[in-house]
Every structure is written in C-alpha cells, then in structure tokens.
Amino acid sequence: MVVGDFPIELDTLVVGAGPGGYVAAIRAAQTGQKVTIVDKGALGGVCLNVGCIPSKALIQAGHRYEYAHGSDDMGIKAENVSVDFSKVQEWKASVVNKLTSGVEGLLKGNKVDIVKGEVYFVDKNTVRVMDDKSSQTYTFKNCIIATGSTPIELPTFKYSERVLDSTGALNLKEIPEKMVVIGGGYVGTELGTAYANFGTKVTILEGASDIISGFEKQMTSLVKRNLKKKGVEVVTEAMAKGVEETKDGVKVTYEVKGKEETIDANYVLVTVGRRPNTKEIGLEQVGIELDDRGLIKIDKQCRTNLENIFAIGDIVAGPPLAHKASYEGKVAAEAIAGENAEIDYLAIPAVVFSEPELASVGYTEAEAKEQGFEVSSAKFPFAANGRALSLNNSDGFLKLVTRKEDGLLIGAQIAGPGASDMVAELGLAIEAGMTAEDLALTIHAHPTLGEIVMEAAEVAIGSPIHIIK
C-alpha cells in the first residue's frame, strides 16, 4: 500500500455520497465552500443504487405486468401475457445508471472534488482515506458525515444466495415461485407486493400486531386487504426462528401463538430494519458522542459535540428517509456557511409505495392529542372522486388534522392512488401555516385526484359539496 507523504488540505469534507452527502456537498459548494466528497461505493449511495430508485422501478414493472393482464370490469381482456425478467432487470439498471451518472455530473458541475476510498478519522481535523492500493491523509476545516446505514442481519438468518437482504431481492435473476418476507415494514411490504404482482406466492411474517408501523390502522387495513387479493399471506405476531437451506430453496421456521410452523420457499427476504454505519470509521478516536443505538448525537444545525463536524441521514435520530437526509444535508452545509439554518421535522412526509399508496405528514390525530392539541379530523373518500373512479382505483381516503381553535392544518394522512405525490401539497400547507379554509378556497383542477384535498378541507370547515354532511 502506498501512503501519501503529505496531508492534503481541504475546506469542507463530506463523507458519504448518498442522498444526504451529495446534496450537502452541492449546497456547500453553492455557498462558496471548496468541497471534497469521499465514498468507497457508487455515487448516489444505497438510495439510488440499491434502494429507493431500483425498488420503485421494480414496483412499477410489477404494476405494468399486472395491468397487462387486462381488466375485465372495464371490458379489457388480454391473453398470453409474459415477462422477460432479465429485461426487467436491464431496464431497472438503466434507470439507476441515468441517475447515478447525473449525480456525478452535478457534483462536477458544482466543482466538488470526488475521491474514492474508505474514510477513517484520525482526529477532529484529519482523516485517512484508503483504497486497495493507497492511503492518503487529508486535513479539513469542517466535515459532514453522511455514511448511511446497512440492513440488519439476524443471527439465525445469515445472508446467502437464498437468504436475502433488500439488495439481493432487487437483483434476483428469476421470478421466484415462493418467497417469505421477514418484516412487514415499508421495505418488506413494497418488495413483497412487487413480487406478488409478478406472480410470486408471498408470505409476510411480522413480529408486531400490524404491518407498516407508524401508519394508522385504517390505512394499513386497506393494504392488507389488497395483499390478500393478490394471494399474499400476512402473519402478524410471528417470531422468525431460523432457516434451513435446501437444494432448491429454504425452509423457514417461525412461531405464532405459541405454535411452531414451517414454510418452504425459493428465497427468504429479511427486512427487519437498518443499523447506522458509525462503527469502524474512527469516531471513538475523535470523541464524537453516540447514543445507545449507535446514532450520532446532533443539535438543531446537525452539529455533533465537535464544533466543526456535522452528521446527517441514517446515522442520526429519526426515520431513515432519503429526503430527510437531503434536507439535513442542506441545513448542515448552510450552518457551516454561517447561515441561520435549523432542522424542523414537522412537515417531513413519510410514504409507502404499497397498494394503495400510503402517505403521512405532520401529526396524526393521536399524536396531536398526545402533544396537547385540541384537534378535529376531516375525511374524504377516493370513492367520491371522479378521477379515482375513472382510474378504476378508488380505495382509500384523505384525512386532515386541524387545530380546533383556528382550523390550522397540523397533519394529514392519505391512503389511495397518487398519495406519494399528493402529500407534497399538504406538507407545503403545514409549512406555510395554512388553515383548512385556505385549502378549501384554493381552486383545484377537475377531474384530478388533487381535488380530494379541497374536498376534505370543505368537510373540515363544515361545507362539503360531494358527500353528505
């Protein structure tokens, strides 16, 4: 290994090039900082390469395959529909390549220096960057750590060709006949649904009493109903015990209601959460404070206990969401530049690309009451929306949570088609301090799914048009 003789001096160093790191680097460069970004993996991190983007591509391909079989109630019939899964994977890879090459172009266009290698912190102003051939020391004035997270591996389910993490499930070369999914969170539900749409017999084992924790039961019940229609079996309060790999697949053992059960499948996908990538990078050497879960402690500007080192994304408290990491990256970069930027998570959305899609922003009704608010809730069903009916996709509802005293919008939940896109308007309304009346007075185009926001707001102010008060 060749070792650099002299340290290279940097202004702002960003460690990790995922959606938190590369956004932080670009924003820092825009504020006049000289920025270097380091990552041992591909630009774009987990999200662009083996997470958000490829999973949504696979989900969309599954929808297309499902739709291609026709819709009898609309008078559309189709025969001999087939899928070339190798082509699906090629297309998915092309989507990823377009975005990752785009990230490289954006970094270079903003004059961000890109370095490949693994980072180890020496002290609060120094890192060593290593690859297979060399090691170079860098000194920096400020640093943003954005090293992301890794799927948790269960001791009794060691990853292999048949025991998969989310990356392995996204890169299968074949459509499995049967798949067991351990963990009914958003990743397990999304990927389980995608493969079910391709015809896989999917069984989801969830240890809690319901799938997709964090969303209201009225919302998750719609997802479970649709999973059942697809032949997906959801087993809740189930404890996965172990796996035996066979010649052609796996035999999974689990316990439910005190009884041990086994199930055979081609693959088992383990999606039980992620752990922060904060080990073995020298944080203890520097004295950066971690909590008992291995997350880096930060203040409202994403600053650690060391004045010049910041941390963002999956390695700090909060949900492991790409858009949260990007938001925090901007805050950290602006704080380094001396701007008065602080994190405020109230209007941060959460989305699950299930069927129907789920989205939530701000407080749920229960959370608002826990915070001491007196609130009202107003719901409007997709079944009363013309666009949803014309899409033949009218399951679900939109719910607004407003402060009783003045109608201020403090939360919203959506279960239905287009929820992932519709939630942005509601996030903006919360961020801007809008009331239900403001939303009701906003003219929405007809016929659109977005009209449901206006309709629910009219329910909230007591003047609904398209449902009986």
Please, are residues 59 and 166 in contact by the beta-carbon 8 Å criterion?
Answer: no
67 annotated ligand-binding residue: no
Q: Is 377 exposed, middle or buried (0-12, 13-18, 19+ CB in 10 A)?
A: middle
Listed residue (204, 194, 274, 278) closest to 235, CA to CA? 204
What would the pLDDT profile of 280-292 be if each residue is shown by its tens digit? 999 999 999 999 9
What would the pLDDT profile of 299-354 be if each residue is shown by its tens digit? 999 999 999 999 999 999 999 999 999 999 999 999 999 999 999 999 999 999 99
pLDDT at 1 over 90: no
Whole-number percent of the chain with pLDDT over 90: 96
Structure tokens at 38: 């380091």
Residue 4 pLDDT class (50, 70, 90 cuts): low
189 annotated ligand-binding residue: yes
Q: What does the pLDDT average to over 91-116?
A: 97
pLDDT of residue 469: 80
pLDDT of residue 101: 95
pLDDT of residue 261: 97
Alpha helices in 69-125 (DSSP H): 85-109
Output the DSSP codes for 140-179: EEEEEE---EEEPPPTTS--SSSEE-HHHHHT-SS--SEE
Catalytic residue (choose from 63, 69, 446, 466): 446
Residue 366 pLDDT class (50, 70, 90 cuts): very high
Would residue 380 be called left, alpha or beta, if left means φ above 0 and alpha means ψ between -120 and 50 degrees?
beta
190 annotated ligand-binding residue: yes
Q: Which residue has the higher pLDDT, 134 or 459?
A: 459
pLDDT at 2 over 50: no
pLDDT of residue 133: 87
402 annotated ligand-binding residue: no
pLDDT at 5 over 80: no
216 annotated ligand-binding residue: no
183 annotated ligand-binding residue: yes
Domains plus CATH for the chain?
A: 2-150+275-336 (3.50.50.60), 163-272 (3.50.50.60), 350-460 (3.30.390.30)
Q: What does the pLDDT average to over 205-224?
A: 97
466 catalytic? Reply is no
Output the DSSP codes for 215-247: S-HHHHHHHHHHHHHTT-EEEESEEEEEEEE-S
Q: What does the pLDDT average to over 135-148?
A: 97
What would the pLDDT profile of 424-452 be if each residue is shown by its tens digit? 999 999 999 999 999 999 999 999 999 99
186 annotated ligand-binding residue: yes
